[in-house]
A and B are shown apart, each in its own frame.
Chain A
Amino acid sequence: MPILVALFLMPAASALGAERFALPKFKSGYELPPLEVPPAASDALEYLDVAALAAALALASYLALRARSRRALWVLMAASLVYFGFYRGGCICSIGAIQNVVLALLDNGYAIPFTAVAFFVIPLAVTLLFGRTFCAAVCPLGALQDIVAVRPVRVPAWLDHGLGLLAYVYLGAAVLFAATGAAFLICEYDPFVAIFRLVPFTRPNAMMEAFGGSMGMLILGAGFVLVGLFIARPYCRWLCPYGAMLRLLSRASKWHVTITPDECVHCTLCEDSCPLGAIQKPTTDLPRPDRLIDRRRLALLLILVPLLLAGGGCFGRYLGEPFSRVHFTVQQAERVRLEETGQITGTDDISDAFYKTQRPREELYAEAGAIRGRFDIGGTLLGVWVGLVVAVKLIHLSVYRTRTDYEPDRATCLSCGRCFKYCPVERKRLKTLKGEPTTP
């Protein structure tokens, strides 16, 4: 692999060293500044990234599940923010890697970087073992939001459930656009990357390069930070597509953080401690809802499932067409078509780019048609997916589960460790560890 990478980089490096065209000479004596070639990113750095990710995940899992130290997790989180966020400019990241993987699966011509695969797979695997420790202290987007959450208010659980849908929709849309080669939505609308790149560690002009000095992304990021002061981790909870995947895996994780290190004493102290509302209360001291109504509702919902899927699919098909316009080739074909039919006079950069290729129009139209076709299928699948998510969510909310203790919801708990100190059993354990007397 490194040899391949080196081979790949070699011609690029030599090509960059020379000017393509002879440079003009100025009568005024003006000297053109020498051509600056930024050094190619070393592949060692990529391996360092993967190693750092693995180490951070191992440490985060240890700190959350074994050491149960919120403070240590916080320090790790800050370190991850500095390294993966500010130093690496928020790229590569596991969230964006979804798109690389999807594109690689569907486009044989796309050579996926090894790091993208590693960043995609490793956190998923770790979540399957230890729950969402990646979110707790490794993800730079999460870290930034966690640190700014100084005065989190509790969001009503019903709203939390409702908004939680959006992440799955976003995931579906990101997969659709990546699969069709139209856009990497997650990267284009990453609200924090502009903030990360404000600090010129490795890329002096990265922010300017990436956003052409546009304030839009920065404003979006600032908006999320402002909201994040009062609502803990809004992006993680309601939008993050990778988080949506982790939620599913975390439910099945082998181990997971617990609020109490031992047996729950039902003291109720931790009840409001989680800023994410991830603590589930015991159901034992509440009356059991009417089983008959429950069953009827469930039956109704089960009947609704195929309808939701079919409805979603049909509606999604309609969306395929407007969505396809995000694809460059479709835009180009439409532009060229408008010019051809005389609805627009003159050419623009997009159509010029096509004319330069000297390909026949029909070929472009056919290509755009094929992409539209893919969007038709993709849109249908997206619709089915959203229908499925809604159905599963409704069913999930309609199934009664018995709980005897205060427990973190495995799907939404990020293993941040905030609730630990509220538990008297935990306090006792800490005192014992320190050798202090445990009774007043």
Chain B
Amino acid sequence: MTADANKPTDADKTNDAQQARQDELARVRYQAAVGTAIVAGTFCLLVGITLAVAHFQRTTVGLDESEELNNLRNALLKVSDPEDRKVIREDIRRRDLELRQGFFGRRAFTKTGGYLLLAGLVVFIAGAGLAAACRKRLPTPLRADQRKPAIGAQAARWAVTVIAVTLVAGGVFVVAYYGGAPDGEAPDGGQAVAVKAPPGREEIRKHWPRFRGPDGSGHSAYTNIPTTWNGKTGENILWKTPVPLPGENSPVVWGKRVFLSGATEQKREVYCFSAADGKLLWQKPVSTPASRMTDPPEILADTGFACPTCATDGRFVCAIFANADIACFDVDGRERWVRNLGAFKNSYGYASSLNIYRSTLLVLVDQGTPSKPLSYLLALDLMTGKTAWRTERPVSSSWATPILAHTAKREEFITVGCPWVIAYNPADGKELWRAKVLDGDVAPSPVYHSGTAFTVNTGAQLTAIPTGGSGDITKTGITWTAEDGLPDIVSPVTDGKVVLLVTTDGLLTCYAAADGKLLWEHEIDAIFMSSPGLVGDKFYLMDEKGVMRIFITAGGYKEVAKAELGEKSHSSPAFLDGRLYLHGKKHLFCIGKKRTSLTGPD
């Protein structure tokens, strides 16, 4: 080998130079790629951090999250002065606009950020990918001793086991945190106070759950009701308690609680009294945004703002007022729900009382005129106040209370209005039968006894209608009618043998229930507003001054006793075991012999 042989030839030199250029080029390319990746990466990081910080530290809130806006809205509902309302409204508009602008601004910001991030990522990945490609060298073959061992099956089995155990642990976590607490159990683990099932018919009969008692016909389930008392001397008055707000409604009683409602133009309240001593157990206001916003309805002073009687089923008590506020409380006074049915369009004031049927509250809203009736029968879910069903009615305004009749084959919810008596299925509001037998302003409620419903109104007739029919039974299904002594306010009462009518100015007319034969008439010099009750064979009828006349009807009017409340009253009596509850103009009275003890739930 000569020295020349080691000397680089020209060709070698060209090759080297070429190689050097290529290496230089590769180096520059690599550096450029790395530089691009670093710049783009930093950019992405900054954009990402900015977006994240903006996301977590956002100062703008959504429309629905703004407490300020909510407060303003609430304030608007409370304020009635037009000037103040205008100011608040302007405030709401301004704040609303700000919030919207903030919200959309934030959205635009996020969107732009997202695009920038995406663009940055594309550049970063391209740069990094290129850099990685520049550095990639094909490997050289490995010597036998350099070779790595095959996968460790043992380690893999362990990994699988560990993952499986982790999954089980995850499952345990899920069960622990998201499992348990099935229906009816409180979230805190304790047993929930599940709402009791609605009471059965037998249970209801022991109480006085609605206007005119369990069947709405004024019948007492007890015969041990006192016949003598005196509100002035205190004779047989177990207790009397002042009722805070006025109301023409009658007491409803369940176990050891007595419920009433009261209202003025401005205020509405529901009361619960202890049956034992008359103590006011609770007193709850009823108010809805709608009622705060609207003017009080125009009513007749005799009707008042709290004329409809409450309804209870021992679990809940519901009350409705002339301004269409309707509320439900549990018997301990916790508000369950409250809503407003929309101003009633009936003159004199709303008067129809409530009725609880299983888990619904049935509300009769008869309004409008004969040419334009706006009436409907409404069933509200007792738990929530949501509408369960609603049936439109072809009648104009009325003031009577429907009754629930347990006929031989089914339950019928019998309503009266002008001009139709209509019976509905209380479960779904489907019409069962109807009869065109009424006219004018219908206020006396229907009564029912042994398969016959009796409806009456002045200007129309007293009608005996057998229940259980279907369709329009005006022409085919009426037993008898009568036209003497028709009342305009006071509801009739029947013991199955006679039907007794009482007019406001004191004319009592007694008909035979079977054939409508007029048995006798009797005049009393008094004004009557409250509806009579029936205890055994004794009729209880109270005049406007609070004088209760107790009489039997066999062979004419025979007065058994006369008792004075000592206070004016329009209320109908509530008969319980050995007791009688009356709502005077100012007081709630419990009348009874001292010995009787209370039964029923607390």
Contacts and interface: CB of A to CB of B under 8 A. Distances in A.
Interface string A337-363: 111111101010001100110100100
A161 B156 contact: yes
B115 interface: yes
A286 B159 contact: no
Given A166-B163, A342-B330, A318 B175 contact: yes
Interface stretch (A47-55, A121-129, A147-155): A147-155
A265 to B, nearest CB: 10
B439 to A, nearest CB: 34
Contacts of B151: 157-158, 161
B115 A198 contact: yes
A386 B142 contact: no
A158 B152 contact: yes
Interface stretch (B82-90, B385-393, B451-459): B385-393
B115 A169 contact: no
Interface stretch (A89-97, A131-139, A391-399, A428-436): A391-399
Q: Interface SS of chain A: helix, strand, loop or mixed?
A: helix
Interface string B98-130: 000000001100110011011001000100110
Nearest to A272: B139
Most B CB contacts (10 A, CB to CB) among A268, A283, A286, A390 go to: A268
- Classify chain A's interface size: 35 or more
A416 to B, nearest CB: 15
Contacts of B231: none
B178 A157 contact: no
A347 B162 contact: no
A159 B171 CA distance: 21
A198 B114 contact: yes
Interface in B153-205: 153, 155-164, 167-168, 171, 174-175, 177-180, 182-184, 186-187, 192-195
A361 B114 CA distance: 46
Given A269-B141, A397-B153, A315 B184 contact: no
B193 A268 contact: no
Interface stretch (A110-118, A253-261, A319-327): A319-327
B163 A397 contact: no
A340 B195 contact: yes
B159 A199 contact: no
B192 A341 contact: yes
A169 B174 CA distance: 15
B163 A165 contact: yes
Given A195-B118, A271-B142, A343 B147 contact: no
A163 interface: yes
Given A285-B144, A339-B383, A358-B388, A225 B121 contact: yes
A398 B111 CA distance: 52
B121 A151 contact: no
A208 interface: yes
Which of A147, A222, A318, A386 counts the most chain B CB atoms within 10 A?
A: A222
A365 interface: yes
A398 B153 contact: yes
Contact of A358 (B152, B167, B335, B387): B387
Contacts of B164: 165, 386, 390
Contacts of B477: none
B149 A148 contact: no
B140 to A, nearest CB: 8
A213 B110 contact: yes
Contacts of A213: 106-107, 110
B183 A337 contact: yes
A342 B193 contact: yes
A150 B193 contact: no
Given A150-B125, A169-B167, A337 B184 contact: yes
Interface string B129-153: 1011000001111101001111111
Contacts of B150: 281, 283, 286
B55 interface: yes
A218 interface: yes
Contact of A158 (B131, B147, B156, B195): B156
A162 B159 contact: yes
B139 A341 contact: no
Interface in A217-270: 218-219, 222, 225, 229, 267-269
Interface in B196-245: none
A215 interface: yes
A309 interface: no
Contacts of A286: 149-150
Given A151-B128, A198-B118, A365 B183 contact: yes
B138 A315 contact: no
Contacts of B174: 319, 322-323
Contacts of A176: none
A207 B131 CA distance: 33
A190 interface: no
Contact of A161 (B111, B118, B159): B159
A148 B125 contact: yes
A235 to B, nearest CB: 17
Contacts of B466: none
A62 interface: no
Contacts of A267: 141
B157 A340 contact: no
B334 interface: yes
A169 B170 CA distance: 12
Contacts of B125: 147-148, 150, 229
B577 interface: no
Contacts of A148: 121, 125
Contact of A355 (B117, B160, B381): B381
B31 interface: no
A334 interface: yes
Contact of B194 (A229, A273, A341): A341
Contacts of A222: 48, 117
Contacts of A269: 138-141
Contacts of A355: 381, 384, 386
Contacts of B161: 394
A218 B48 CA distance: 11
B138 A422 contact: yes
Contact of A157 (B132, B152, B175, B187): B152
Contact of B160 (A147, A199, A321, A393): A393
Contacts of B192: 338, 341-343
A215 B110 contact: yes
A343 B389 CA distance: 25
Nearest to B186: A343
Contacts of A163: 159, 163
B36 to A, nearest CB: 12
A182 interface: no
A333 interface: yes
Interface of A: 147-148, 150-151, 156-159, 161-163, 165-166, 169, 195, 198-199, 207-208, 213, 215, 218-219, 222, 225, 229, 267-269, 271-273, 281, 283, 285-286, 315, 318-319, 321-323, 325, 333-334, 337-343, 345, 347, 351-352, 355-356, 358, 361, 365, 386, 390, 393-394, 397-398, 421-422
Given A158-B155, A285-B147, A393-B160, 13 more contacts: A158-B158, A207-B111, A215-B51, A268-B142, A322-B177, A341-B192, A341-B193, A341-B195, A343-B187, A343-B193, A345-B335, A356-B386, A394-B161
28 contacts: A147-B129, A150-B125, A150-B132, A151-B128, A158-B155, A159-B159, A161-B151, A161-B160, A162-B159, A162-B160, A162-B162, A163-B159, A207-B111, A208-B111, A215-B55, A268-B147, A269-B140, A286-B149, A315-B168, A318-B179, A322-B174, A338-B187, A340-B383, A343-B192, A351-B384, A358-B386, A397-B153, A421-B138
Q: Which 7 A-B pairs have the closest CB atoms?
A: A162-B159, A322-B178, A158-B155, A355-B386, A157-B151, A161-B156, A322-B179
Interface of B: 48, 51-52, 55, 106-107, 110-111, 114-115, 117-118, 121, 125, 128-129, 131-132, 138-142, 144, 147-153, 155-164, 167-168, 171, 174-175, 177-180, 182-184, 186-187, 192-195, 330, 334-336, 381, 383-384, 386-389
